[in-house]
Amino acid sequence: MELIVRMAKSFGEFRLRADFTASGSRIGIFGESGSGKSTLVNVLAGLACPDSGEIVLDGETLFSGAARLDLPPEKRRIALVFQHPHLFPHLSVKGNLLYGWKRCAVANRHIHIDDIVDVLRIGHLLGRGVTNLSGGEKQRVALGRALLSNPRLLLMDEPLSALDDSLRFQIIPYLRGACETFSIPYLFISHSLVEMRLMTDRVIVYDRGRQAADTTPDELARVRMGTSPVGYINLLRLTDPQPRGTLFSYAWGDSRLVLNTPPAGEEHLFELSSKDMILFRKHPEAISARNLLRCTVAGVFKSGRKEGVELACGRERLVAEVAAEAARELELVVGSEVYVAIKASAFRRLG
């Protein structure tokens, strides 16, 4: 997929300027509320008309101010998934799923209902009406409907923000997996950095209508660490949960971590803030934290008034943060050895 966007759009005082070429398949659009993300989505989908510029998808011009061309939404082959599923209440799940498929040219029908049903695990819902589905089921049906329209590009505008945390992180593998399985490139819009890290490889950052950065989700998390109230969120995929007294031990790379969270479901995805780690130069004598890992400093970076410390713990990596004075006292240089202490209660389950 190659998407070229060079355009401007104003609403009164607000002016959105977009100038990027996206050639990957997992692109994020990140920004605070009111930064222009939804305006960009509407413009790409053909629901709003830019004031000037051009939009070209895979060599086809969708909009050109100079040529006075504005392809209508139904001719763009761009599908949308919104925060709220907007399913058709008078149609069954199957009717909803087939809505876009029936309107798609036969030559473009590469994805069929049976494929979608398997990947999104919604086979048991096909005959049901949509009003009584759970929030997560509705969003899976909305995603299925969008994919079955066999789009060239999928726009997902905050598709998870109406869901509670546990559902949010259950749905992410479906979103990612379905788009990967059917090779559908997407633009994923969100103001959640964690979602960005799980869903995208490249992020274009908007700030008050202006393109502020074009970066990777991990780099963005590092840059914002020093000013973010939650620091840098480490994402840990743990396996093999075992009870250990009143706590639980999970495998993490070559080590084991002790958490106070019992296992639930098959995935054990946890977050750990860079603020919730304490570094020691030498092995401490006795500590209350249930985890003490011996790590090597793999990198040190500045973020606001903090120093980020990238730690190699076996084959896994963690980012911790310390004040500049602490970094000096610890004599943090690449290759030095440190101990990191983490409380069992510091890990928060995501999925």
Ligand X SMILES: Nc1ncnc2c1ncn2[C@@H]1O[C@H](COP(=O)(O)OP(=O)(O)OP(=O)(O)O)[C@@H](O)[C@H]1O
Binding site for ligand X (CB under 6 A): 11, 14, 31, 33-39, 191
Residue type, 36: G
Q: Which is nearer to ligand X, 38 or 228 (CB)?
A: 38
Q: Which is nearer to ligand X, 36 or 100 (CB)?
A: 36
At residue 213, the 3 state secondary structure works out as strand
Least Cβ distance, residue 330 to ligand X (angstroms):
39
Least Cβ distance, residue 157 to ligand X (angstroms):
7
Q: Which is nearer to ligand X, 122 or 220 (CB)?
A: 220
Please tell me the distance from the alpha carbon of residue 241 to that of residue 221, in angstroms, as a whole number: 28
DSSP string, 285-330: S--SSSEEEEEEEEEEEEETTEEEEEEEETTEEEEEEEEHHHHHHH
Q: Which is nearer to ligand X, 161 or 181 (CB)?
A: 161
Q: What single-letter DSSP state applies at residue 129?
A: B
Q: Which is nearer to ligand X, 34 or 304 (CB)?
A: 34
Please tell me the distance from the alpha carbon of residue 313 to that of residue 137, in angstroms, as a whole number: 38
Least Cβ distance, residue 36 to ligand X (angstroms):
4
Least Cβ distance, residue 244 to ligand X (angstroms):
42
Least Cβ distance, residue 33 to ligand X (angstroms):
3
Q: Which is nearer to ligand X, 38 or 200 (CB)?
A: 38
In the beta sheet, which residues pair with residue 16? 9
Edge-to-edge strands, sheet with 78-81: 78-81, 153-157, 186-190, 26-31, 202-207, 210-215
Q: How long a stretch of residues is the chain?
A: 351
* Contact (CB, 8 A) for 275 and 320: no
Q: C-alpha 229: how far from its chain's center?
A: 19
Buried b (16+ CB within 10 A) or exposed e, 330-347: bebeeeeebbbbbbbebb
Please tell me the distance from the alpha carbon of residue 296 to that of residue 293, in angstroms, as a whole number: 10
The tokens of 254 are what? Answer: 């070559």
Least Cβ distance, residue 72 to ligand X (angstroms):
18
Q: Which is nearer to ligand X, 200 or 274 (CB)?
A: 200
* Contact (CB, 8 A) for 186 and 3: no
Least Cβ distance, residue 35 to ligand X (angstroms):
4
Q: Which is nearer to ligand X, 10 or 61 (CB)?
A: 10
* Contact (CB, 8 A) for 240 and 60: no
Least Cβ distance, residue 18 to ligand X (angstroms):
11
Question: In a 10 Å sphere around its CB, with 0-12 CB exposed, 13-18 middle and 19+ buried, how is residue 152 labelled?
Answer: middle
At residue 266, the 3 state secondary structure works out as coil
Least Cβ distance, residue 16 to ligand X (angstroms):
7
Q: Which is nearer to ligand X, 31 or 185 (CB)?
A: 31
